[in-house]
């Protein structure tokens, strides 16, 4: 392959075969996509082969095959023209066909799935899937082995010795590229675990990849996921908070009292609903501050401090709620609180959102586009001595595309919201306050969002706003942690407190701030939990600390501090959530859940450690 | 002999510094001063209190008692941040870098350059990487990739980075606590060169080391401490390398240089 491109050698048999393979693969993939779209290859929940409605999985599969076909034909085209770009293209195409083949094989070989739903269709279909999978896998692997031969192998030791060639400059095979990316990510174990568990559940049961299950996974895990963000950041700074569950119970009780009877003992009456929220957050931060200040003043390990406050904070709901009752909003008021919002306010908010989107687009897209143009130019720059960054170019192209699309979709949605509200005239929009905060999509706050969610969400599925808050907070704190000066100091404080202090960072302040951040997020979660189900029982949040810490550790954070990521924790939370829902769906005893989470935690950490050791 | 305490060129003066760690009396009344554009070699046996003295100076430790005068004003240095504000930059013997962070992030730690997105300030990571690499290149340290994690580098490479950082940010006073302990001969020579270059640029340097011939080459003056007390200040012209070495080892000042008798002072 190298000779073919670099020395203008005659196309060898291998190159000829690769050309033919790419053409065949392209045509074959087109065929599969067409067959799926036509309903002849039924995947997922389908009994009647001839039914014309296409389900979600089939859309995904046919789209994947269309893309594969396009890429394969693109590769073939450059291979004929002896265009260097053909090389990485064919590497990636064969790489992906191997992966897709493996996924198909997995699907065919795992128990469950179609075979159990429909005996009529199953045997030939399973065989068909097996055949496609085996064909793709074997041929893809062979082709991959061939086309990656002769790629300038990236070898760190050689590089170091020669003092030349940075990582980015040399080209890599997809395999090397991906393992490098994994090795550099704190959450390799979580990524691998997530993909694996996701595939297994999707294949073993058709009920998993359904809106109802996806909704229940996301909704159930979102609130714990929010707490886990804070716990991750705290853990990166080298500390640990066991008291989050108790704090949740305590803050929920306070919030409920603020909303209903106030705290008569100190002469505090019920608060307006808009005031109760910040008041609850202040209480939460106070609890976090207590944790932090005990830690830095006494120097006791945070494990002990927060074990103490775990027990102390729990007494608040236990004492405040009489005799094992459940404190319910309905015991005080018949109606949940309502808000009347002027559509003009909503329109203005949407406009502000549009401005923000435009600003983000203006700051990110041109840079991404220029980078992409530059890299693309480099591919065709003959002066590069063979070190061109085609793989990076492909990836950055995908990033550019995804960013642009995401921004576009949000902008279009905001425009729809604006037109919806403008169309209604000045009539006030009525919405339940609790629904606005953590309502159910497609049910409770359609008036505000312009009836948009109900288009996508089938009636049975339980998606709630907490999912959106969760994802927004993940995004926010990912940026804070990796891009802000504060984030940098958090890593330094956990990684080497002495060195951090020597560089002028106030280590104690960072730690106290992080305890308060955890508490603030617990406060947010309390509000979400109370508004979802307006009642508090004295054991609210009991045991959360363990699950949340499991999510954080699965996500790759080091207990010793200095290492971890919020995105990793997002994956960790999703893994735990998938297990909780998935085990029930496949009919396993729900009591196994804790054991499985425990095993997965250990496995993920072992994987993380292995990958990290390999990378250094 | 001992230079005059109220020298007009005085940059820093530490008066009667005591530092006790519980029952450990690490510093027992040390007077120490640095003139402008002067390289002072701070010498002493292991455990003499050299690192403790400079940690008191940089706000890492608060002194049990004593006074610090910087540029003629009595200052209260309560944190390393404050010392930095005064223009004091330090390479600590034991507190150099954060191993799990990249070179660029370590280099800029505590004073990262930012880009502003409206009210939002984000670190300018590209600038951080480029400038860190350039600054280290300036002091003769070649790195492959400023985004590489420090943990995978050798002890000498790490020490070089810490020195490069201090040289880059230092404004008035540069403190090097055993900066060359992990360096090769060539790198050590470079460190001595920057030390000299820093002086030429108008800075003062405190140089701590056990290698006396090294410091004898660059220093203008030596301060020798022994078991938490100062033996004395000696300008380069008045002592030979051997005499300095003997004093550091024995803790006794030769007759001809003697100002006070250390043995006579009560512990
Ligand atoms: N944080 C601390 N807690 C208790 N004792 C300390 C502390 N730091 C230093 N000491 C003690 O103070 C004395 C002086 O230590 P210091 O580190 O200043 O010595 P040094 O002159 O720098 O020695 P070296 O040449 O080995 O670096 C030692 O006896 C040491 O044990
Ligand atoms: Mg020392």
> What is the full DSSP assignment across B46-78?
TTSSHHHHHHHHTTSS--SEEEEEETTEEE---
Burial readout A234-253 (b: 16 or more C-beta within 10 A, e: otherwise): bbbbbbbbbbbbbbbbbbbb
Q: Residue of the nearest CA to atom 5 in ligand 1?
A: B21
Q: Do B111 and A479 touch (CB under 8 A)?
A: no
- Cα(B50) to ligand 1 centroid in Å equals 8
Q: Do A505 and B58 touch (CB under 8 A)?
A: no
pLDDT reported for residue A165: 37
Q: Do B95 and A501 touch (CB under 8 A)?
A: yes
pLDDT band at residue A75 using 50, 70 and 90 as cut-offs: confident
Please choose, from the candidates B234, B229, B222, the residue with its C-alpha nearest in 3D space to the C-alpha of residue B264: B229
pLDDT reported for residue B108: 93
Indicate which CATH number applies to the domain containing B258.
3.40.50.300
Which one has a higher pLDDT value, B4 or A7?
Answer: A7
Query: Which residue blocks in chain B are alpha helix, DSSP H?
Result: 50-57, 80-85, 103-108, 125-138, 155-169, 185-200, 212-218, 241-250
**Structure tokens of B113?**
């350059």
Q: Do A491 and B149 touch (CB under 8 A)?
A: no
**Structure tokens of B236?**
């380069």
Does domain A211-339+462-615 bear CATH number 1.10.3470?
Answer: yes
The 8-class DSSP code of residue A48 comes to -
**φ, ψ for residue A385, nearest 5 deg:** 60, 35
Residues of chain B neighbouring A167 (CB-CB closer than 8 A)? 145
Which one has a higher pLDDT value, B117 or A545?
Answer: A545
Is residue A499 within 8 angstroms of chain B, CB to CB?
yes
- With a 6 Å cutoff on the Cβ, whether B43 touches ligand 1 is no
Contacts of A274 by beta carbon, 8 Å cutoff, 6+ apart: none
Per the DSSP assignment, residues forming a β-bridge with B34 are B12
Which ligand 1 atom minimizes the distance to the CA of B61?
Answer: 1
Q: Which sign, positive or negative, has the C-alpha torsion A287, A292, A293, A297?
A: positive
pLDDT of B158 higher than 70: yes
Per the DSSP assignment, residues forming a β-bridge with B13 are B33, B69
Q: Do A495 and B100 touch (CB under 8 A)?
A: yes
pLDDT of A117 higher than 70: no
Among B26, B211, B230, which is best to mutate for testing ligand 1, by the most ligand atoms less than 8 A from CB?
B26
- Residue B257 vs residues A316, B238, B240, B243, B244: alpha-carbon distances, Å: 72, 9, 12, 10, 11
In a domain, B112, yes or no: no
Average confidence (pLDDT) over A552-562: 90
Rounded to a whole number of angstroms, the distance from the CA of B171 to the nearest CA of chain A is 15
CA A443, distance to chain mean position in Å, is 25
Q: Which sign, positive or negative, has the C-alpha torsion A83, A87, A92, A94?
A: positive
- Cα(B26) to ligand 1 centroid in Å equals 7
CA A71/CA A83 separation, integer angstroms: 15
**Structure tokens of B188?**
């050590």
pLDDT reported for residue A9: 63
Helix axes A566-585, A188-204, angle to 10 degrees: 20
- With a 6 Å cutoff on the Cβ, whether B23 touches ligand 1 is no
- Cα(B195) to ligand 2 centroid in Å equals 19
Which one has a higher pLDDT value, A56 or B54?
Answer: B54
- Residue A308 vs residues A228, A232, A302, A521: alpha-carbon distances, Å: 20, 20, 10, 20
Which one has a higher pLDDT value, B198 or A480?
Answer: A480
Burial category of A124 from C-beta neighbours within 10 Å (exposed 0-12, middle 13-18, buried 19 and up): exposed
pLDDT reported for residue A169: 37
**Structure tokens of A594?**
């804790």
A336-370 pLDDT, tens digit each: 888 888 888 888 988 999 999 999 898 888 888 88
* Cβ count within 10 A of residue A571: 23
Please choose, from the candidates A177, A3, A4, A175, the residue with its C-alpha nearest in 3D space to the C-alpha of residue A94: A175
Least reliable range by pLDDT among A174-178, B119-123, B181-185: A174-178
Ligand nearest to the CA of B52: 1
pLDDT reported for residue A124: 61
pLDDT of A583 higher than 50: yes
pLDDT band at residue A383 using 50, 70 and 90 as cut-offs: low
CA A507/CA A516 separation, integer angstroms: 14
- Cα(B47) to ligand 1 centroid in Å equals 5
Q: Domain residue spans in chain A? A: 2-150, 211-339+462-615, 344-424
Contacts of B101 by beta carbon, 8 Å cutoff, 6+ apart: A488, A491, A492, A495, A562, B109, B149, B150
Please choose, from the candidates A571, A613, A599, A513, the residue with its C-alpha nearest in 3D space to the C-alpha of residue A236: A513
CA B102/CA B170 separation, integer angstroms: 21
**φ, ψ for residue A289, nearest 5 deg:** -60, -40
In a domain, B136, yes or no: no
pLDDT band at residue A589 using 50, 70 and 90 as cut-offs: confident
What element of type H or E holds B230?
strand B229-235
A387-422 pLDDT, tens digit each: 455 666 777 888 899 999 999 988 988 888 888 888
Chain A contact probe: residue of B110, B129, B150 with most A CBs at under 10 A = B110
Predicted TM-score (pTM) above 0.95: no
> What is the DSSP annotation of A525-586?
HHHHHHHHS-EE-TTTTTTHHHHHHHHHHHTT--TTSS---HHHHHHHHHHHHHHHHHHHHT
CA A375/CA A491 separation, integer angstroms: 32
**Structure tokens of A208?**
């998993």
Q: Residue of the nearest CA to atom 3 in ligand 1?
A: B21
Contacts of B219 by beta carbon, 8 Å cutoff, 6+ apart: B39, B40, B41, B207, B236
Residues of chain B neighbouring A163 (CB-CB closer than 8 A)? 142, 144
Among B44, B51, B180, B209, which is best to mutate for testing ligand 1, by the most ligand atoms less than 8 A from CB?
B51
pLDDT reported for residue B64: 92
What element of type H or E holds B26?
strand B24-35
* Cβ count within 10 A of residue B122: 17
In a domain, B106, yes or no: no
- Residue B184 vs residues B142, B150, B188: alpha-carbon distances, Å: 15, 19, 6
- What's the number of domains chain B is made of? 1
Distance spanning both ends of chain A, measured CA to CA: 31
In a domain, B144, yes or no: no
Please choose, from the candidates A513, A493, A512, A515, the residue with its C-alpha nearest in 3D space to the C-alpha of residue A504: A493
**φ, ψ for residue A238, nearest 5 deg:** 95, 10
Q: pLDDT over 70 for what percent of chain A?
A: 84
Distance spanning both ends of chain B, measured CA to CA: 24
- With a 6 Å cutoff on the Cβ, whether B211 touches ligand 1 is no
Average confidence (pLDDT) over A202-210: 79
- Contact yes or no for B267/B88 (Cβ under 8 A): no
pLDDT reported for residue A389: 59
Q: Do B145 and A167 touch (CB under 8 A)?
A: yes
Average confidence (pLDDT) over B201-210: 90
CA A291/CA A297 separation, integer angstroms: 10
CA A342/CA A421 separation, integer angstroms: 9
Burial category of A584 from C-beta neighbours within 10 Å (exposed 0-12, middle 13-18, buried 19 and up): middle
The 8-class DSSP code of residue B102 comes to B
pLDDT reported for residue A119: 44
- The whole domain housing B34 covers 10-100+149-265
pLDDT reported for residue A485: 93
Residue B184: strand, helix, or coil: coil
**Structure tokens of A438?**
């953590």
Q: Do A502 and B58 touch (CB under 8 A)?
A: yes
The C-alpha torsion from A402 through A403 and A406 to A412, rounded to 10°, is: -120
Average confidence (pLDDT) over A504-513: 94
CA A413/CA A428 separation, integer angstroms: 21
A367-A371-A376 Cα angle (round to 5): 150
Contacts of A611 by beta carbon, 8 Å cutoff, 6+ apart: A182, A183, A188, A189
CA A267/CA A146 separation, integer angstroms: 79
Q: Which sign, positive or negative, has the C-alpha torsion A35, A39, A43, A47?
A: negative
pLDDT reported for residue A466: 92
- Contact yes or no for A276/A255 (Cβ under 8 A): yes
CA B218/CA B207 separation, integer angstroms: 9
- Contact yes or no for A324/A560 (Cβ under 8 A): no
């Amino acid at each position: 392959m190298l000779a073919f491109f670099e020395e203008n050698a005659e196309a060898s048999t291998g190159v000829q075969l690769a050309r033919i393979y790419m053409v065949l693969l392209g045509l074959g993939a087109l065929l599969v996509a067409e067959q799926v779209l036509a309903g002849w290859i039924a995947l997922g929940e389908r009994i009647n082969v001839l039914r014309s409605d296409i389900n979600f999985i089939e859309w995904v599969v046919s789209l994947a095959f269309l893309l594969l076909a396009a890429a394969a034909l693109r590769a073939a085209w450059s291979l004929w023209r002896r265009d260097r770009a053909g090389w990485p293209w064919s590497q990636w195409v064969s790489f992906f066909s191997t992966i897709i083949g493996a996924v198909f094989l997995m699907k065919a070989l795992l128990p469950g799935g179609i075979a159990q739903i429909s005996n009529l269709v199953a045997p030939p279909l399973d065989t068909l899937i097996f055949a496609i999978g085996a064909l793709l896998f074997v041929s893809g692997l062979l082709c991959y082995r061939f086309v990656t031969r002769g790629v300038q192998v990236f070898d760190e030791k050689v590089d170091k010795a020669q003092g030349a060639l940075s990582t980015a400059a040399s080209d890599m095979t997809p395999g090397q590229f991906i393992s490098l990316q994994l090795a550099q990510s704190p959450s390799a174990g979580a990524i691998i675990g997530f993909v694996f568990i996701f595939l297994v559940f999707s294949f073993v049961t058709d009920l998993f990849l359904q809106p109802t299950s996806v909704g229940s996974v996301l909704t159930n895990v979102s609130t714990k996921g929010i707490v886990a963000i804070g716990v991750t950041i705290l853990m990166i700074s080298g500390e640990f908070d066991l008291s989050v569950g108790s704090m949740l119970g305590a803050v929920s009780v306070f919030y409920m009292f603020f909303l209903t009877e106030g705290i008569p003992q100190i002469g505090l009456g019920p608060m307006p609903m808009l005031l109760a929220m910040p008041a609850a957050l202040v209480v939460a931060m106070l609890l976090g501050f207590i944790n932090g200040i005990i830690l830095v003043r006494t120097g006791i390990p945070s494990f002990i401090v927060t074990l103490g406050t775990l027990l102390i904070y729990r007494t608040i709901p236990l004492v405040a709620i009489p005799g094992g009752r459940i404190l319910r909003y309905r015991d005080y008021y018949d109606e949940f609180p309502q808000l009347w919002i002027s559509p003009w306010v909503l329109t203005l908010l949407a406009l502000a959102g549009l401005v923000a989107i435009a600003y983000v687009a203006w700051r990110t897209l041109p840079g991404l586009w220029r980078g992409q143009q530059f890299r693309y130019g480099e591919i065709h720059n003959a002066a590069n001595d063979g070190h061109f960054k085609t793989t990076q170019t492909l990836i950055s192209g995908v990033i550019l595309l995804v960013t642009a699309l995401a921004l576009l979709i949000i902008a279009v949605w905001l425009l729809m919201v604006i037109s919806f509200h403008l169309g209604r005239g000045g009539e006030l929009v009525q919405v339940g306050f609790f629904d606005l905060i953590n309502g159910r999509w497609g049910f409770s706050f359609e008036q505000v969002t312009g009836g948009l969610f109900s288009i996508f969400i089938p009636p049975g599925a339980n998606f709630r706003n907490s999912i959106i808050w969760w994802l927004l907070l993940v995004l926010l704190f990912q940026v804070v942690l990796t891009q802000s000066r504060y984030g940098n100091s958090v890593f330094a404080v956990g990684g080497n407190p002495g060195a951090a202090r020597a560089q002028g960072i106030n280590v104690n302040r960072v730690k106290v701030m992080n305890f308060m951040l955890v508490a603030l997020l617990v406060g947010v979660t309390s509000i979400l939990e109370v508004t979802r189900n307006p009642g508090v029982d004295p054991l609210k949040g009991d045991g959360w600390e363990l699950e949340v810490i499991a999510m954080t550790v699965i996500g790759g954070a080091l207990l010793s501090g200095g290492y971890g990521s919020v995105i990793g924790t997002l994956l960790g939370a999703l893994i735990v959530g998938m297990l909780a829902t998935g085990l029930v769906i496949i009919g396993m005893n729900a009591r196994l859940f804790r054991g499985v989470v425990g095993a997965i935690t250990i496995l993920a950490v072992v994987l993380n450690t292995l990958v990290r050791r390999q990378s250094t | 002999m001992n230079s005059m305490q109220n020298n007009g060129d005085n940059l820093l003066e530490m008066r009667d510094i005591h530092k006790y760690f519980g029952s450990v009396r690490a510093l027992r009344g040390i007077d120490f001063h640095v003139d402008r554009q002067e390289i002072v070699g701070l010498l002493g046996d292991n455990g003499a209190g050299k690192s403790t003295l400079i940690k008191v100076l940089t706000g890492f430790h608060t002194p049990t008692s004593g006074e610090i005068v910087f540029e003629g004003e009595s200052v209260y240095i309560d944190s390393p941040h404050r010392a930095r504000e005064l223009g004091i930059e330090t390479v600590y013997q034991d507190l150099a870098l954060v191993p799990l962070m990249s070179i660029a992030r370590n280099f800029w730690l505590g004073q990262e350059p930012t880009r502003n997105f409206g009210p939002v300030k984000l670190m300018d990571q590209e600038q951080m990487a480029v400038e860190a690499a350039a600054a280290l290149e300036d002091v003769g340290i070649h790195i492959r990739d400023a985004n590489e994690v420090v943990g995978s580098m050798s002890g000498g490479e790490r020490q070089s980075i810490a020195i490069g950082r201090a040289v880059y940010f230092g404004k008035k006073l540069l403190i090097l606590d055993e900066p060359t302990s992990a360096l090769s001969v060539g790198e050590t020579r470079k460190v001595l060169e920057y030390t000299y270059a820093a002086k030429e640029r108008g800075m003062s340097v405190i140089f701590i080391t056990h290698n006396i011939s090294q410091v004898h080459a660059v220093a203008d003056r030596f301060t020798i401490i022994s078991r938490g007390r100062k033996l004395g200040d000696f300008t380069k012209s008045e002592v030979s390398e051997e005499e300095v070495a003997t004093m550091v080892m024995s803790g006794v000042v030769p007759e001809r240089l003697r100002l006070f008798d250390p043995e006579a002072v009560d512990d």
